[in-house]
Structure 1
Amino acid sequence: MALPTIREWSDEQRQVLNAVHTALLHNRMLKISSQVLQQEKALIEPLGLSVQCDALLLLFRLSGQHTIRTLALPLIDEASVSTFSFTYPTDFNVERFMREHAEIRASQI
Structure 2
Amino acid sequence: MYATAEAFRKRGEFTHAVFAQLAEEPEISKEHHSYWDAFRILESERPAAGLGGVCRIPWSSILKYAEHYGMSFDETERFVDIIREMDATVLKSAESKPSEPKKPSKPK
TM-score, normalised with respect to structure 2: 0.28
Structure with larger RCO (C-alpha < 8 A, sep 6+): 1
Structure of larger gyration radius: 2
Higher share of residues assigned helix: 2
Higher share of residues assigned strand: 1
TM-score, normalised with respect to structure 1: 0.28
